[in-house]
Amino acid sequence: MKHGSLAAEPCAIARSVAALGERWTFVILRQSFMGARRFEDYQQGTGIARNILTERLKTLVDHGILARRPYAQHATRTLHEYRLTQKGLDLYPVMISLLQWGNQHGGFADGPPMTLEHLNCGNTIEPRFTCPCCDGTIDPREMRPHVVEPVSA
Amino acid sequence: MKHGSLAAEPCAIARSVAALGERWTFVILRQSFMGARRFEDYQQGTGIARNILTERLKTLVDHGILARRPYAQHATRTLHEYRLTQKGLDLYPVMISLLQWGNQHGGFADGPPMTLEHLNCGNTIEPRFTCPCCDGTIDPREMRPHVVEPVSA
């Protein structure tokens, strides 16, 4: 199986990773969720080489995760900003899950380098996955995956 | 910035991705959470070339995400199985988030190829992120990140 073929697998994880799999993607999206808009915001926030950043931003736009819009017209060129679309905003649980796992296992001796405030209640919180039916906290040992057989043509 | 240096960044997302960033990793971990143990389980479940799979499993063992243990002794070699450690099990929210995003945006015209049953309540569910303080559903627009300044030496 080739890398590109992940996008064609009948598996949602494979297709997600086909869109996101390049590791810089997550660092770029971290900046998006922290409010980056302009190319320079992204460049300064990530330290990624400009040519690579240009390419990665284009990939995220191509996947509909970021939207590219003009925000200023200079004499010689138009400047663009890159903002999360709804599809991009829907990645928030992925980012938070990566953040929490890294906070727990990333070797931060002085504690997590980033915390999250829930503006609704004003508390610093650790979001957690719960069941919308029984409100229980999700434990992987209590979850059973079911593969849905494709509808035959 | 080089790829390897993500592991040294003072950012939990960067460090998580440094451990996980190779796209096959998520497909391998999908199999782990679906019950794969032996090399052949992983190989058949993913279709990854054997030499690449060997290397990726080793990386996951090196990161303490999978544990490698002997399960059978043959005349010429010992067979090993690869099981999730607690650090690996802690990745469940990352996997569920990728699954949900892929189900939503992966272009599955006939519906999600995988569903999740919560054994506690017996329902097919979509786990959701909630606040442990106010029980509200997490909306990225209502979350504020705070960078914790490092303690000076």
Determine the average pLDDT of the residues in B122-148: 94
Q: Per residue in A64-108, pLDDT tens? A: 999 999 988 888 888 899 999 999 999 999 999 999 999 998 888
Does position B2 have pLDDT exceeding 60, yes or no?
Answer: no
Question: How much of chain A is helix, strand and coil, in % rounded to 5?
Answer: 45, 20, 35
Does position B15 have pLDDT exceeding 90, yes or no?
Answer: no
Q: Which helix (H) or strand (E) holds B97?
A: helix B92-105
Q: Per residue in A103-152, pLDDT tens? A: 998 888 888 888 999 999 999 999 999 999 999 999 999 999 998 887 66
Residue in A9, A42, A101, A137 to test binding to B, most B beta-carbons within 10 Å: A101
Determine the average pLDDT of the residues in B16-23: 76
Residue in B2, B6, B13 to test binding to A, most A beta-carbons within 10 Å: B13
Distance from the Cα of A70 to chain B's closest Cα (Å) equals 23
Q: Which helix (H) or strand (E) holds B125?
A: strand B123-125
What CATH number is given for B3-142 in this structure? 1.10.10.10
Q: Give A119: exposed, middle or buried? Use CB within 10 Å, 0-12, 13-18, 19+.
A: exposed
Q: Where are the domains of chain A?
A: 3-142
Strands B128-130 and A128-130: antiparallel
Does position A29 have pLDDT exceeding 70, yes or no?
Answer: yes
Check CB contact under 8 Å for A6 and B27.
Answer: yes
Determine the average pLDDT of the residues in B110-128: 93
- Percent of chain B past pLDDT 90, that is, above it, reads 63
- Tokens at B152, concatenated: 């000076």
Chain B residue whose CA is closest to A13: B99
Check CB contact under 8 Å for B15 and A126.
Answer: no
Does position B131 have pLDDT exceeding 90, yes or no?
Answer: yes
- Tokens at A113, concatenated: 């380098």
- Nearest residue, CB atoms, A133 vs list B14, B118, B143: B118
Chain A residue whose CA is closest to B113: A148
- The confidence score (pLDDT) of residue A14 equals 82
Chain B residues with CB under 8 Å of A146 CB are 114-117, 124
Determine the average pLDDT of the residues in A23-43: 92
Give ipTM to 2 decimals.
0.89
Check CB contact under 8 Å for B13 and A127.
Answer: no
Chain A residues with CB under 8 Å of B118 CB are 131, 133-134, 136, 138, 142-143
- The confidence score (pLDDT) of residue B1 equals 47
User: Can you list the alpha helix ranges (DSSP code H) found in chain A?
Assistant: 12-20, 23-33, 39-46, 50-62, 86-89, 92-105
Does position B3 have pLDDT exceeding 60, yes or no?
Answer: no
Distance from the Cα of B77 to chain A's closest Cα (Å) equals 28
Q: A103 — phi, psi (to 5°)? A: -60, -40
- Tokens at A5, concatenated: 């073929």
Distance CA B60, CA B79 (A): 17
- The confidence score (pLDDT) of residue B28 equals 94
- Nearest residue, CB atoms, A102 vs list B13, B49, B125: B13
pLDDT band at A1 (very low <50, low <70, confident <90, very high): very low
Cβ contacts of B20 within 8 Å, gap of 6 or more: A98, B26, B91, B94
Chain B residues with CB under 8 Å of A111 CB are 148
Chain A residues with CB under 8 Å of B124 CB are 146
